[in-house]
Amino acid sequence: MRRIWYFCFLLLAGCCPIVSLHAAQPVIIDTDIGSAVDDAFALGLALASPELEIRGITTCGAQAGDRAWLVCRFLTHLDRHSIPVAAGTDPQPDYPLDWQIQYRRHPAVVWNRTAKPLAAAAPDFIYQQLQADPGNVTLLCLGPLTNIAKLFQQHPDAIGMVKQVVLMGGALEIGYEGKGPATAEWNIHADIRSAQAVFTAGAPLLVAPLDASIGLQPTAAQREQLFAHCSPLTFQVQSLYELSDEPSPTLYDWLAVALAVDPRLAQLKPLHLVVTDKGVTQAKEGKANARVAEAADASRLLDWGLKRLLGYDKTRLPLPPENASSLIAAGPLPARVHTFEDYDTDIEKRWWMTGMLEIDKAPPGRGRAQRAVLTQDFDGKNGDLATSYRAVIFNPVPGPPMGPQTRLAFRYHLHGTDTLRVQLFSLSNGYHRYLAVSGLQQDAWATAAVDLTAMRKPNGEGGPLAENERIDDIQFYIDPRAELLIDDIVLYEAAAPDERRPFPDRILFTGGFDTGKQGAEWPGDFEIAAHASPRTWRYARSVDQNGQAVIRLNLRGQRAGAERLRLRFDYWASAAAKLDVSLHNQAEPAGYRAASITLPAQTWGVAYGDFAAESADDPATVDELLFRLPAGVELRLDNVLLYVPGK
């Protein structure tokens, strides 16, 4: 019997694709995409299988709404946005999305350039589809059975309308290490009550358990072959794969999709399955309630599926960028630092729009950097949205205004290309500009700076970056087949002509207060007020506290210190007075000697203060800057910069 089944599989999964003699099978896919990355591979396989007519996709798991948006973006990039998507309602199993949430936060989603999830909840949407075509729709379940249990509970007549429930779930004889004893498989264990409800409801079940799917692990060569195709479909799968940080995923859900395409792709056995209160799936005596995949040829099943993904659409690589520019010298100490990101803390992690943390290959003397991952161009108006790039993108919330000579400094490590595109989004004008530099060093860390006033729109229009223009999304793009690491991003204004102090080695904090709210983007004890002409934008103003005029600037988290730190700031005092400035760590004793500066009255000036670590061998971390004047004196601050001096 096994020889006959194996021969049939060879016929089905050989060099010839399966050609259905019947109309495509209507299916609704229920997925917890955004957690284990096998859902992304499975969704790609389902979309590439003409035997399946996908009537809709629903999402389960915590943050089901975010997962639905993730699916919408995936579908839109394949021009399959007509497939409706609905999110499951709470409560859902409580496990978070991993870093694949970054895929959902792309501007294509934020600015309504993708399909949108339906307002209807997943169970209601599924019920509507079943009512419209009773007895013909298969439910293909790739995650916990929460939505299906809710469907059967809220609409009991739906049980008789379902053609079958095909699901990845359960383990009968083995655990995740491929040997006994059986374990509580993830999809079942994540929502045991829902699994029990579905297994006892009476709907026909076709089950792909861990036992038959555990061997579905693509080799490195197979992944490379798939991702080298560089098509819209493989780009989406690869993007989620990279964000998942699962180097060698097992494609458990792949088998469930294959069974929905054709049950003959596995050896099936009728069994009576039950789910214990501990989430273990067991075969018991009694009337069979499920057909269960006992075995599948993993190698041939992977080849079969990979051929489908590779054959779905054509390679689509980006064209070389226009608007060639050149690197410039970073120059001395900037006149103003608008924003920075060194990736050494998680303080601004929520604004890492594209990229993955890199530790092993960080620059010498630095702790962390950012590795480029796949994404579509953030430019939805003039960018090529049919392809993907490898990119690092950082959002400098809250969108600072630029000066007349805006520059961008950064460290980079390139492999496989010598060309880098640098792009900004203009909040003021609502469009992107970019410049491209070529001939860059490869396979070693290097420093670079570019003149952002040389940026233009892709068609050459848009004019230079203007003074007081607010910007967003600092973007670095390369060819999707190459590699890029980025670190020490500094957006700044060019130094004054007479400036001789060197460019900072490292920045700990910059405060301009021009945009954003006190307490949110600018935590601490102070007020934000508008400058009087001729100065523009805003400044920080002292508050009375414990008999003193105080400005307390919270650095938004722990910042690594150094043997020597330098502080620069613009100031105004209502009366001549001695200003005490100190660095603090709210969780530890102060590790730096305080500085004192005498300020003149009622004139804006620039002051510098140096802080020496009390322990040069182990400089303390800091999280707060404290400025104090005598009571009755008003202090105003702007253009605050705390940094490690360059050499």
pLDDT, residue 282, reads 97
Residues 351 and 482 in one domain: yes
Tens digits of residue pLDDT in 30-63: 999 999 999 999 999 999 999 999 999 999 999 9
Cβ atoms of residues 25 and 138 within 8 Å: yes
Place of tokens 């061997």: 215
Cβ atoms of residues 122 and 90 within 8 Å: no
pLDDT, residue 10, reads 41
Residues 490 and 516 in one domain: no
Per the structure, the count of domains in the chain is 3
Q: Is the pLDDT of residue 156 over 60?
A: yes
CA distances from 347 to 240, 333, 352, 521, 546 (A): 24, 24, 10, 11, 30
Contacts of residue 408, defined as CB under 8 A and 6 or more positions apart, other chains included, come to: 422, 449, 450, 452, 474, 489, 490, 491, 492
Tens digits of residue pLDDT in 550-606: 999 999 989 999 999 999 999 999 999 999 999 988 887 767 888 899 999 999 999
CATH number of 145's domain: 3.90.245.10
Cβ burial of 177 (10 Å; 0-12, 13-18, 19+) is exposed
* Residue 202 burial (CB count, 10 A): 12
Mean pLDDT (whole number) for 185-189:
98
If pLDDT is split at 50, 70 and 90, which confidence band does 22 have?
low
pLDDT, residue 2, reads 41
* Residue 17 located in a structural domain: no
DSSP character string of 461-520 = -S-S--TT-BEEEEEEEE-TTSEEEEEEEEEEEPPPTT--SPPPSEEEEEE--SSS-BTT
Mean pLDDT (whole number) for 295-319:
97
Residues 492 and 536 in one domain: no
Q: Is the peptide bond before 398 cis (omega within 30 degrees of 0)?
A: yes
Place of tokens 């299906």: 148
Cβ atoms of residues 31 and 97 within 8 Å: no
Give percent above pLDDT 90 in the chain.
87
Tens digits of residue pLDDT in 515-538: 999 998 999 999 999 999 999 999
Residues 308 and 354 in one domain: no
What is the Cβ-side half-sphere exposure of residue 271, based on CA atoms within 13 angstroms?
Answer: 21
pLDDT, residue 587, reads 80
* Residue 181 located in a structural domain: yes
CA distances from 8 to 50, 292, 505 (A): 20, 18, 66
Greater confidence (6 vs 587) lies with 587
* Residue 323 located in a structural domain: no
Last residue within a domain, chosen from 266, 282, 312: 312
Place of tokens 């054509």: 314
Tens digits of residue pLDDT in 259-302: 999 999 999 999 999 999 999 999 999 999 999 999 999 999 99
Distance CA 258, CA 260 (A): 5
DSSP 18: P
Residues 244 and 144 in one domain: yes
pLDDT, residue 590, reads 65
Residues 601 and 578 in one domain: yes
Domain span holding position 355: 330-500
DSSP character string of 203-218 = --EEEE-HHHHTT---
Distance CA 591, CA 611 (A): 9
Q: Is the pLDDT of residue 12 over 70?
A: no
* Residue 320 located in a structural domain: no
pLDDT, residue 19, reads 41
In this structure, are strands 431-437 and 336-341 parallel, antiparallel, or unpaired? unpaired
Residues 515 and 478 in one domain: no
CATH number of 520's domain: 2.60.120.260
If pLDDT is split at 50, 70 and 90, which confidence band does 311 have?
very high
Residues 63 and 164 in one domain: yes
pLDDT, residue 246, reads 94
Give percent above pLDDT 70 in the chain.
96
* Residue 8 located in a structural domain: no
pLDDT, residue 18, reads 40
CATH number of 380's domain: 2.60.120.430
Last residue within a domain, chosen from 500, 528, 551: 500
Residues 307 and 226 in one domain: yes
pLDDT, residue 9, reads 46
* Residue 10 located in a structural domain: no
Mean pLDDT (whole number) for 347-353:
89
If pLDDT is split at 50, 70 and 90, which confidence band does 400 have?
very high
Residues 307 and 377 in one domain: no
